[in-house]
Amino acid sequence: MRRRIQEITDPIELDDVLSSAKICRVAMMDGDKPYIIPFNYGYKDKSIYIHCALQGKKLDLLNNHHHVCFEVEDSVKVIKEKELGRCSTRYRSIIGYGDVEIIMDDHERMNEALKILMGQHDWGSPVDYGLESVKRLVILKLKITEMTGKRSSNWNKTSEH
């Protein structure tokens, strides 16, 4: 990282970013080309949980190569300073790598992964998913192997100026 002063190294803050953000972009390889997809997700214990359909390009790619790159950003806000003719962005973000495991076990999907996923999106009280609904989806568990966090230099500023 070029500007080390902006690096997030505190594990608590890294967890906060991953627990607060709502969208995770996952990049995988499609032959010699990258393929990136945005997902809503849940985070717990250095793992990102994603749900998807039983079939599709992403599963085909992950079955061939399970190592991925991911990115999340939290609290992004563009700060416009029109009178000065400039703008900046206030953000925290994480880029990392991990290995994806495809979870097909009904119990693990219903009782662990979906609760984590729904909790990230403030569903509140427990949701009854129903076994038939669960059988129509796959849970991807991205086990984080490394990550780097970054915050904008204006992260702690409370006003736009």
- The model's pLDDT over 101-126, given as tens digits with 9 standing for 90+, comes to 988 776 666 667 778 877 777 766 56
Low-confidence ranges of the chain (pLDDT < 50): 160-161
Confidence at residue 2, expressed as pLDDT on a 0 to 100 scale? 62
Going through the chain in order, the beta strands assigned E by DSSP cover 7-8, 23-30, 33-40, 42-44, 47-52, 67-81, 86-103, 138-151
Give the distance between the most distant pair of CA atoms in the chain.
57
What are 7-12's contacts with CB under 8 Å, separation 24+? 7/148, 7/149, 7/150, 8/92, 8/94, 8/148, 8/149, 8/150, 8/151, 9/149
Confidence at residue 6, expressed as pLDDT on a 0 to 100 scale? 84
% helix, strand, coil for the chain, step of 5: 25, 45, 25
CA nearest to 140, candidates 59, 51, 61, 56: 51
What CATH topology corresponds to 4-151? Pnp Oxidase; Chain A (2.30.110)
Confidence at residue 161, expressed as pLDDT on a 0 to 100 scale? 46
Look at the block and give the residue holding tokens 């992403």.
58
Confidence at residue 57, expressed as pLDDT on a 0 to 100 scale? 94
Confidence at residue 63, expressed as pLDDT on a 0 to 100 scale? 92
